[in-house]
């Protein structure tokens, strides 16, 4: 009720919280009702995808997309994973999955390694001009990728890396650098300076302080960076389609090619199974990481 | 800087300098060099390969008389303005609801944020299926007895961009909500107590006291959403492919198509330079307000 809002809490009721009202007050019905409705709306696409992927095509043609499957079949999943065609390849999304893994692992390791060392240098070993380069990096994060796409094509072509996985790994490292460097710089700056100075007095240098003090002290931020990079790189489409060849396309590009191909009969159940398969990796990370994911996002927001 | 490193000699701090080489190279070669290169070559008539034959503003004239580009700009404006307004309003509203010391806050937040973990490709394909007129919402409502019900945004050139908007909002509103929630948590409890004692209705407190206090968060959210909107590409590719016809084209797709499909590099460079200009128009005033203001 509204009086629960306006009457100040009596001191005896404890340090926080309002007077406990009736559970079914108008206020509660409004708050929980709205939140439940919105949540249902948010869950709807996921539900529809799952339900569709478990139906056979005849059932999809006659039924409605919200109805649960009458006859559950896993055939669409098998087909999406192992048989769906893109162009001449008919080995399903599994190819894209393994390509994505091959792109993901080195990109995540390389981008985090480079950005963490950058952040460490910026936080503890500033040199003339270091702040300027950092400023350029942060401003660069706002430049639309489209502006830098083609010069990178030329550079990679000159280096003989255009169309291969190595080139794409380098591109992911470059574009992950601003946000990750910011993340690590801010974190390392909050490590007590006394610790750093004590290690310096003991004769430790740049690398030994990094490996023996900074890295062991900063594992949570490494986890945040990993979550950020794994979801970001897995979900990338633009760089994948530009910098790799069809054989090496990451999962997102292959998924789009399977679903939006104009040839053949559309198999909506296979398409939805393929879509869920592609979303499964970031979703798993999201649900497992919980608050750390939010922290990664907050760090990303600081960029703005 | 000098205070931390002592006398500045080039070999002092040499490890840090070596370690920073990737960052320096990225900043100078890619971010400055690459951008400058594209801007310069937008004044050439490069076709299949970049050429140094300068033609002044010819590419820009062609760009602004191209129907496809004008539609792209119009779509971006509609999509951008509406998604900004809706994302901020809905995001703030949901954050305010979550901030009422409710139970299951974590559960609600997890549900509302999960679309943000998915890629735009997955988002676009999911909504393409739900909005499919033969199977999706339109079909379901019609089979309930409303024979004339029409809701086929993805097949109607006039409203296709709103179909994309639905998917875009589903994807990003959770993020804005999380930002707003963090902002609301930063508001002093005493403000609430004071306004409650004064008998100010809750919605007035939000509108006239809390929101003005959260100015910083709002600006951050606006910059974040805007720079995301200008880059929007994957969502369109997955959901509509730019169609029907060219009715849902966007600038980022125009650039890609010009560079990699129609071998018209000069057009691509000119279009991407226009995108850069848009970002500058948005970001520079913000950077000035945010960082320039503090010094004075």
DSSP A175-186: HHHHHHHHHHHH
In tens, the pLDDT along B25-50 reads 999 999 999 999 999 999 998 888 88
pLDDT > 90 in chain A, percent: 43
- pLDDT of residue B263 exceeding 90, the answer is no
Q: How far is CA B278 from CA A142, B84, B229, B271, B272, in A?
A: 11, 16, 11, 11, 10
User: Which one is the CATH code of B59-295: 3.30.70.380, 3.40.710.10, 1.10.3720.10, 1.10.150.120?
Assistant: 1.10.3720.10
Count CA atoms closer than 13 A to A6's CA, side-chain side: 8
Closest-approach residue (CA) in chain B for A288: B110
Q: Place B9 in a pLDDT band, splitting at 50, 70 and 90.
A: low
Q: How far apart are CA B36 and CA B30, in angstroms?
A: 9
* Whether this model's pTM surpasses 0.95: no
Question: What distance lies between CA B237 and its chain's CA centroid?
Answer: 16
* B141 pLDDT above the threshold of 80: yes
Nearest CA to A301 out of A186, A188, A191, A192 is that of A186
Task: Provide mean pLDDT across the span B176-192.
Answer: 88
Six-digit token string for B199: 């008998």
Q: Do B175 and A297 touch (CB under 8 A)?
A: yes
Q: Is B290 on the interface with A (CB under 8 A)?
A: no
Provide φ and ψ at B46, rounded to 5°: -60, 135
Q: Write out pLDDT tens, residues A124-166.
A: 888 888 888 998 888 888 889 999 999 999 999 999 999 889 9
Query: Which of 141-160 (A) contact B at CB < 8 A?
Result: 142-152, 154-155
For residue A115, what pLDDT is reported? 94
Q: Which of A147, A206, A301 sits opposite B272 (nearest CB)?
A: A147
Which pLDDT score is estimated for A6?
A: 47
Domain range list for chain B: 1-41, 59-295
Q: At what angle do helices A268-289 and B105-117 cross, to 10 degrees?
A: 130
- Does B178 score more than 80 pLDDT? yes
Per-residue pLDDT, averaged over B92-118, amounts to: 91
How far from A22 is each of A18, A26, A27, B20, B256, CA to CA, in Å? 12, 9, 10, 61, 58
Res B166 pLDDT > 50: yes
Q: How confident is the model at residue B19 (pLDDT cuts 50, 70, 90)?
A: confident
In chain A, ranges of CATH 1.10.3720.10 domains: 93-303
What pLDDT digit, counting tens, does each position of A214-263 carry?
999 888 889 989 988 999 999 999 999 999 998 899 999 999 998 888 77
**Within 13 Å and on the Cβ side, how many CA atoms surround A165?**
16
The alpha carbon of residue A33 and the mean position of all alpha carbons in its chain are separated, in whole angstroms, by 30
Mean pLDDT confidence for B268-292: 84
Q: If 0-12 CB within 10 Å is exposed, 13-18 middle and 19+ buried, where does residue A140 land?
A: buried
Contact residues on chain A for B119, CB-CB shorter than 8 A:
234-237, 252, 278-279, 282
C-beta atoms of A121 and B19 within 8 A: yes
Report the phi/psi class of residue B119: left, alpha or beta, with left for phi > 0 and alpha for psi in -120 to 50: beta
Sole residue written with tokens 């930063």? B186
What's residue A191's pLDDT? 86
User: What are the beta bridge partners of residue B273?
Assistant: none
pLDDT tens per residue, range A16-73: 555 555 667 888 889 999 999 999 999 999 999 999 999 888 888 888 888 888 888 8
Taking residues A183-199, report their average pLDDT. Answer: 88
B2 falls in which pLDDT band (50, 70, 90)? very low
- The helix (H) or strand (E) run that includes residue B101 is none
Query: Would you call A86 helix, strand, or coil by DSSP?
Result: strand
Q: Residue B157 pLDDT more than 90?
A: no
Q: Supply the Cα-derived Rg of chain B in whole angstroms.
A: 24
Yes or no: say if A1 and A30 are a contact pair by the CB < 8 Å rule.
no
User: Is residue B264 pLDDT above 50, yes or no?
Assistant: yes
Work out the minimum CA distance from A242 to partner chain B, whole angstroms. Answer: 8
Residue-level pLDDT at B164? 93
Q: For the ranges A62-66, A114-118, A195-199, B256-260, which has the lowest average pLDDT?
A: A62-66
Residues A254-300 have pLDDT tens digits of 999 988 887 777 888 899 999 999 999 999 999 988 788 887 776 65
Minimum mean pLDDT range among A11-15, B63-67, B182-186? A11-15
The distance from CA B109 to its chain's CA centroid, rounded to whole angstroms, is 21
CB contact B285 to A (< 8 Å): no
Size (chain A), residues: 304
Report which of A13, A151, A3 is spatially closest to residue B36, judged by C-alpha positions.
Answer: A151
Name the region of B132 (left: φ>0; alpha: ψ -120 to 50; beta: rest): beta
Half-sphere exposure for A106 (CA within 13 Å, toward CB): 12
B31–chain A Cβ distance below 8 A for any pair: yes
Q: Considering the domain delimited by A93-303, tell me its CATH architecture.
A: Orthogonal Bundle (1.10)
Reduce the DSSP state of residue A89 to 3 states and report it. Answer: strand
Report chain B residues whose CB lies below 8 A from the CB of A29.
Answer: none
Q: Identify the pLDDT of residue B222.
A: 86
Residue A100 contacts residue A172 (beta carbons within 8 Å): no
Enumerate long-range contacts of A57-62, CB under 8 Å, 24 or more apart.
A57/A267, A57/A268, A57/A269, A60/A268, A60/A269, A60/B135
The DSSP symbol for B54 reads B
* Confidence at residue A51, expressed as pLDDT on a 0 to 100 scale: 92
Q: What are phi and psi of B44, to 5 degrees?
A: -110, 170
Say what the pLDDT of residue B279 is. Answer: 87
Question: What mean pLDDT is predicted for residues B142-161?
Answer: 85
Q: How confident is the model at residue B17 (pLDDT cuts 50, 70, 90)?
A: confident
């Amino acid at each position: 009720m509204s009086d629960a809002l306006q009457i100040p809490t009596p001191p005896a009721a404890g340090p926080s919280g309002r007077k406990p009202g009736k559970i079914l007050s108008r206020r509660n019905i409004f708050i929980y009702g709205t939140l439940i409705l919105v949540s249902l709306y948010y869950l709807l696409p996921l539900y529809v995808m799952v339900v569709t992927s478990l139906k056979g095509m005849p059932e999809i043609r006659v039924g409605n997309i919200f109805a649960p499957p009458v006859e559950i079949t896993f055939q669409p999943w098998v087909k999406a994973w192992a048989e769906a065609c893109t162009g001449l390849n008919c080995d399903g999304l599994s190819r894209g999955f393994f390509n994505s893994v091959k792109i993901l692992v080195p990109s995540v390791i390389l981008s985090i390694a480079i950005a963490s060392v950058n952040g460490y240098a910026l936080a503890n070993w500033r040199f003339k001009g270091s702040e300027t380069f950092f400023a350029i990096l942060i401003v660069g994060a706002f430049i639309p990728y489209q502006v830098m796409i083609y010069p990178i094509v030329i550079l990679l072509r000159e280096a003989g890396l255009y169309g291969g996985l190595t080139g794409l790994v380098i591109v992911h490292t470059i574009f992950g650098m601003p946000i990750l460097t910011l993340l690590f710089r801010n974190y390392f700056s909050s490590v007590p300076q006394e610790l750093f100075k004590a290690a310096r007095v003991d004769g430790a240098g740049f690398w030994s302080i990094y490996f023996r003090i900074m890295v062991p002290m900063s594992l949570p931020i490494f986890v945040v960076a990993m979550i950020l990079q794994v979801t970001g790189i897995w979900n990338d489409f633009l760089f994948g389609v530009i910098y790799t060849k069809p054989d090496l396309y990451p999962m997102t590009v292959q998924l789009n090619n399977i679903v939006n191909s104009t040839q053949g009969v559309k198999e909506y159940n296979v398409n939805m199974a393929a879509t869920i398969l592609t979303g499964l990796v970031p979703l798993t990370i999201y649900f497992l990481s919980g608050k750390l994911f939010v922290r990664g996002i907050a760090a990303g927001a600081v960029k703005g | 800087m000098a205070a931390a490193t002592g006398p500045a000699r080039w070999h002092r701090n040499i490890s840090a300098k070596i370690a920073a080489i990737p960052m320096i190279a990225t900043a100078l070669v890619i971010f400055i060099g690459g951008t400058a290169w594209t801007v310069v070559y937008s004044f050439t008539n490069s076709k299949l390969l970049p050429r140094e034959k300068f033609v002044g503003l010819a590419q820009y004239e062609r760009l602004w008389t191209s129907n496809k580009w004008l539609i792209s700009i119009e779509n971006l404006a509609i999509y951008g303005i509406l998604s900004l307004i809706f994302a901020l309003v809905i995001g703030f509203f949901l954050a305010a609801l979550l901030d009422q010391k409710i139970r299951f806050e974590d559960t609600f937040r997890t549900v509302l944020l999960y679309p943000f973990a998915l890629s735009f490709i997955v988002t676009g394909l999911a909504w393409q299926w739900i909005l499919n007129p033969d199977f999706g919402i339109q079909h379901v409502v019609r089979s309930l007895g409303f024979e004339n019900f029409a809701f086929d945004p993805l097949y109607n050139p006039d409203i296709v961009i709103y179909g994309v908007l639905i998917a875009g909002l589903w994807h990003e509103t959770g993020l804005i909500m999380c930002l707003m929630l963090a902002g609301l948590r930063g508001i002093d409890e005493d403000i609430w107590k004071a306004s409650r004692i004064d008998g100010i209705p809750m919605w007035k407190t939000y509108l006239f006291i809390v929101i003005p206090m959260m100015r910083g968060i709002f600006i951050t959210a606006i910059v974040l959403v805007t720079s995301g909107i200008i880059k929007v590409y994957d969502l369109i590719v997955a959901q509509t492919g730019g169609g029907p016809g060219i009715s849902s084209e966007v600038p980022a797709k125009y650039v890609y198509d010009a560079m990699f499909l129609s071998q018209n590099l000069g057009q691509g460079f000119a279009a991407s330079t226009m995108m850069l200009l848009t970002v500058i128009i948005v970001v520079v005033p913000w950077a000035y307000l945010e960082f320039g203001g503090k010094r004075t």
